[in-house]
Amino acid sequence: MSTQEIVKGIKLYAQKEFEGLSQEQKERHCETVIRKILENANDGITITKIQEAVPYISSDKTVQRYLDKYINTNFAYKKLIGRTYIYFHNGRLLHEALKEDITIGNKLYSFYHIKNPDGDFIFIQEKKKSELNAITISGGIIIEKDYFNEFIEHLNEIKRKVNKDE
């Protein structure tokens, strides 16, 4: 995959422009860029490829930190191939109609039906809105589609127990 394809649709800065950003702006930009690169890189991506595509994100630790965040929130996963980790966006949307968002309090929950090499899943992602209305991913769970009804039954059982205590 070419560098142009990897950074398609991403606003990149010149080195001097990036250095002129505040620390918070730099972090938000890096997080967004790496998320979009994961989405663009259908065949996966390495840390080195990300650094080649976005030279001002040159620190291995910086790239690793954002990739780890995406892995921890189930937005991405990694596979060890030889001695190199390859990072993948956690599936492609199977049904554009099933990408729903619901706001509860100051959190946004997004529901997706996705498919990746490991199977068919329902992905629920938790996002937070900042004071500036910037949205950041704060968590996520993936349920195998075959077990989704069982998952909902357990949630309803928990709901009954919680409501019984009121």
Beta bridge partners of 119: 116
Residues 150, 152, 153, 158, Cα dihedral to 10°:
130
C-beta separation of 124 from 139 below 8 A:
no
83, 98, 141, 150 from 112: Cα distances, Å: 32, 6, 11, 17
The rounded distance, in Å, linking the Cα atoms of 89 and 55 is 21
Cα separation of 102 and 128, whole Å? Answer: 12
pLDDT in tens, the chain (166 residues): 788 889 999 999 999 999 999 998 999 899 999 999 998 998 889 999 999 999 999 888 999 999 999 998 888 888 888 888 889 888 665 555 567 889 888 888 988 888 777 778 888 888 887 766 667 778 888 899 999 999 999 999 999 999 986 6
CA distances (Å), 72 to each of 10, 66, 91, 92, 132, in order?
23, 10, 15, 18, 24
Q: How far apart are CA 68 and CA 64, in angstroms?
A: 6
Rounded to whole angstroms, the Cα distance separating 41 from 155 reads 35
* Whether the predicted model's global pTM rises above the 0.85 cut: no
Residue 99: its pLDDT value, please? 76
Instruction: Output DSSP code: residue 116.
Output: E
d(CA 4, CA 117): 25
CA distance 131 to 51: 30
Q: What's the token pair of residue 5? A: 């394809």
> What domains are there in the chain, each with its CATH number?
1-90 (1.10.10.10), 92-166 (3.10.450.700)
Q: Residue 127 forms beta bridges with which residues?
A: 108, 137
User: Which pLDDT belongs to residue 129?
Assistant: 74
